[in-house]
């Protein structure tokens, strides 16, 4: 009896040891994926709902507008955004851009959570800037009086990059990359691969590792997954103010300016 009891204890101990060993190996190899979002609880709960229900998409219990799907199923996100009143316009890298009939924009930002699941962060109600500069220039450029001439020079001086030039209503040349020329003879080349709304979405969703800003208002952000996004900010230092308003909730974001 004592021998049988001892043998049974040894089997239980061996089973527990093997289980702990397997868990340790699993955590060693997969912990970077499991803990890539910090607390893995919401993601694990979402995976369970996807696995044991007929749902194609699950809203996570963290932040606002964060979802999980199986693999990179962009059609599910496009369908979700249609229900919200947005139409898909284009894809820029990991960002899917949408626009509503009222001219508000939205961005759905994708990243993998292992090769089997995808996380989505959605930013809505992004409003495009008014074309005030273009309207003022249209009014002063045709005039020849000194006051109008000085006012036009002041407005032209605010144009620092390709995006400013386009918003001012000037001609875009059919070149690669696109270029825009102002009446005072300056030529601007588009240096971006995205737009300001995508930058805002990445910052607010804590995807950004570092930010670099130039005097021309060109912002370059490096994401935690290694991707690079370049876009023009509406006003100088806007990106700095956005990072400051995050109040450290996304950890340490490295900032640099030229």
At 29 the pLDDT is 45
Of 95-99, 121-125, 142-146, the range with the lowest mean pLDDT is 121-125
pLDDT range class, residue 210, cuts 50, 70, 90: very high
199 touches 219 (CB < 8 A): yes
Enclosing domain of residue 78: 41-127
DSSP assignments along 1-29, one per residue = -HHHHHHHHHHHHHHHHHHHHHHHHHHHH
pLDDT range class, residue 229, cuts 50, 70, 90: very high
At 8 the pLDDT is 61
Shared domain check, 172 and 151: yes
Instruction: Indicate the DSSP class of residue 246.
Output: T
Shared domain check, 122 and 46: yes
Domain total for the chain?
Answer: 4
Shared domain check, 64 and 110: yes
- pLDDT tens-digit map of 131-162: 577 888 888 888 888 888 888 888 888 888 99
Residue at which a domain ends, from 144, 172, 189: 189
Shared domain check, 48 and 109: yes
- pLDDT tens-digit map of 5-63: 556 666 666 666 666 655 455 444 444 445 555 567 787 888 888 888 888 898 887 66
Domain harbouring 236, CATH code: 3.30.720.210
Shared domain check, 120 and 70: yes
Shared domain check, 164 and 119: no
Give the number of C-alpha atoms closer than 13 A to the C-alpha of residue 27, restricted to the C-beta side: 7
Tell me how far apart the alpha carbons of residues 21 and 24 are, in angstroms, rounded to a whole number.
5
Shared domain check, 106 and 46: yes
Shared domain check, 169 and 152: yes
At 36 the pLDDT is 53
Assess whether pLDDT exceeds 70 at residue 243.
yes
Tell me how far apart the alpha carbons of residues 243 and 211 are, in angstroms, rounded to a whole number.
9
Shared domain check, 61 and 114: yes
CB atoms within 10 A of CB 230: 17
Shared domain check, 122 and 45: yes
Residue at which a domain ends, from 109, 127, 145: 127
Shared domain check, 122 and 72: yes
Q: What is the mean pLDDT of the chain?
A: 80
Tell me how far apart the alpha carbons of residues 142 and 108 are, in angstroms, rounded to a whole number.
42
Global confidence as pTM: 0.54
Shared domain check, 210 and 146: no
Residue at which a domain ends, from 79, 96, 127: 127
């Amino acid at each position: 009896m004592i021998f049988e009891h001892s043998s049974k204890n040894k089997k239980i101990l061996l089973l527990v040891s093997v289980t702990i060993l397997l868990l340790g190996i699993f955590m060693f190899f997969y912990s970077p994926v499991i803990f890539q979002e910090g607390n893995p609880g919401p993601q694990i709960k979402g995976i369970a709902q996807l696995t044991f229900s007929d749902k194609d998409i699950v809203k996570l219990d963290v932040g606002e507008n964060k979802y999980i799907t199986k693999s990179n199923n962009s059609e599910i996100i496009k369908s979700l955004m249609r229900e919200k009143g947005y139409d898909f316009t284009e894809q820029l890298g990991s960002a899917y851009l949408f626009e509503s009939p009222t001219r508000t924009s939205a961005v759905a930002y994708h990243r993998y959570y292992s090769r089997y699941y995808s996380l989505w962060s959605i930013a809505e109600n992004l409003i495009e800037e008014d074309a005030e500069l273009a309207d003022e220039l249209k009014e002063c450029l045709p005039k020849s009086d000194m006051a109008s001439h000085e006012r036009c020079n002041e407005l032209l001086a605010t144009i620092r990059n390709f995006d400013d030039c386009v918003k001012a209503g000037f001609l875009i040349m059919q070149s690669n990359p696109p270029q825009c020329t102002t009446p005072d003879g300056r030529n601007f080349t588009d240096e971006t691969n995205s737009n300001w709304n995508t930058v805002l979405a990445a910052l607010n969703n804590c995807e950004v590792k570092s930010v670099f800003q130039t005097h021309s208002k060109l912002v370059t952000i490096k994401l935690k997954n290694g991707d690079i996004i370049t876009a023009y900010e509406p006003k100088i230092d806007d990106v700095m103010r956005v990072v400051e308003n995050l109040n450290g909730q996304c950890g340490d974001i490295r900032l640099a300016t030229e």
